Amino acid sequence: MPKKASDFTLMITTIILVFIGIVMVFSSSYPDADYKLGNPYHYLIKQLVFAVLGFFVMIFFMNFKYWILSRLSKIIFLGCIVLNALLFTPLGFEAGGATRWIKVFGYTLMPSDAIKLGSIILMATFLAKKKDDIRKFKKGLLPALMLISFSAGLIIIQPDLSTSATLAVTLIAMLFIAGAKMSHLIGLGMIGVTALGFAIIGESYRIRRMTVFLHPFEDPTGDGWQVIQSLYALGSGGLFGAGLGQSKQKFFYLSEPYNDFIFSIIGEELGFIGSVIIILLFLIIIWRGIKIALSAKDLFGCYLASGITALISIQTLVHIGVVTSSLPPTGIPLPFVSAGGTSLLVFMAGIGILLNISRHTKLDRS
């Protein structure tokens, strides 16, 4: 099939979200950046740099033959493992009691973001090759379970339970799309819930997070502070918001309002209408991702598009769920919007892959 134009709707929606992210990162970060770093433009400059890099990464993958990723899947995943191993060398950077970053030339990189995309590529390759065995326990479920466990384990040792769970759910969603037996999926779900339960009770701070989720106002100046301030931000925004740059909660009431709680600042400054617009933009991306997956010319392209779309969907849902106190408090960025160079690069690479798949389909690109 001759190569066609990329999905314009997906591309322009992504660019709009990234632009909104740049604006909101600056708006939500300048008090923190000015006070701690003496430069109110610190996070704005970093986000701009990575947005430009991300654009070129997106263009590269948009023109890179996506099926070659299947041949390179093991090498890509091995590279992700090596990157993760660097966390336990002098390059590893600890913050907030966790070692999740590699510091190189003053820039911090998160291996977990690369692991997410690498795992999706490897899972898509496995599912495409084992299309006739996916409903079998030994040849289908067991190898998939090993990949899911290993990929999630690479992240949970950092420790980062929320990202690990997000990736695991994404890979299980790919299994479901590939036609795995429902009994196998239910079994996987039970194993996952059990493992999650043990991970929570194994750390006192995770138990406190569950308590805060259930009863945030019982400790309003302690563990419940972050969740309550997030709800204050969303509630004070009203219908139209306080106005761009007019947030009060970003003045040291919320920690990292430009990252894990950026949707709270969006709700406060842009109001309910602004928040709904952001959600609609994500829904457009998810819709186009699903259309691309359904129209892909091969199984690998279908599963790859499905995995990338599932990751964007689940991570967005978790972020919004946390800031609205619909899920237990944890730290996970909003794709394309939150501050974070590695996250932005990886998600724009994912969009580039989706755009490339769309060039080889009979998709309506308008």
Are 44 and 26 contacting, i.e. CB atoms less than 8 angstroms apart? yes
Tokens 């690990």 found at: 164
More confident residue, 93 or 183: 183
Edge to edge, what strands does the sheet with 92-95 contain?
92-95, 98-104, 107-109
Coil, strand or helix at 103? strand
Indicate the pLDDT class of residue 349, thresholds 50, 70 and 90: very high
Say how many CA atoms lie within 13 Å of 19 toward its Cβ.
Answer: 7
Indicate the pLDDT class of residue 96, thresholds 50, 70 and 90: low
Q: Write down the pLDDT at residue 98.
A: 67
Exposure string of 211-231, with b = 16+ CB inside 10 Å and e = fewer, is ebbeebeeeeeebbbbbbbbb
User: How far is Cα 219 from Cα 222, in angstroms, rounded to an integer?
Assistant: 5
Lowest mean pLDDT among 5-9, 93-97, 124-128, 156-160: 93-97
Q: Is the pLDDT of residue 44 over 70?
A: yes
Average pLDDT over residues 154-182: 87
Average pLDDT over residues 124-132: 88
Q: Write down the pLDDT at residue 201.
A: 76
Q: For 217-265, how does the pLDDT look when each residue is reduced to its tens digit (9 = 90+)?
A: 777 777 778 888 888 889 888 899 888 888 888 888 888 889 889 999 9
Residue 219: which residues within 8 A CB-CB, separation 6 or more?
212, 225
Q: Is the pLDDT of residue 333 over 80?
A: yes
The reported pTM is: 0.91
User: How far is Cα 316 from Cα 318, in angstroms, rounded to an integer?
Assistant: 5
User: How far is Cα 306 from Cα 294, in angstroms, rounded to an integer?
Assistant: 9
State the chain's mean pLDDT as an integer: 87
Q: Is the pLDDT of residue 206 over 80?
A: no
Lowest mean pLDDT among 35-39, 74-78, 306-310, 342-346: 35-39
Q: Write down the pLDDT at residue 319.
A: 93
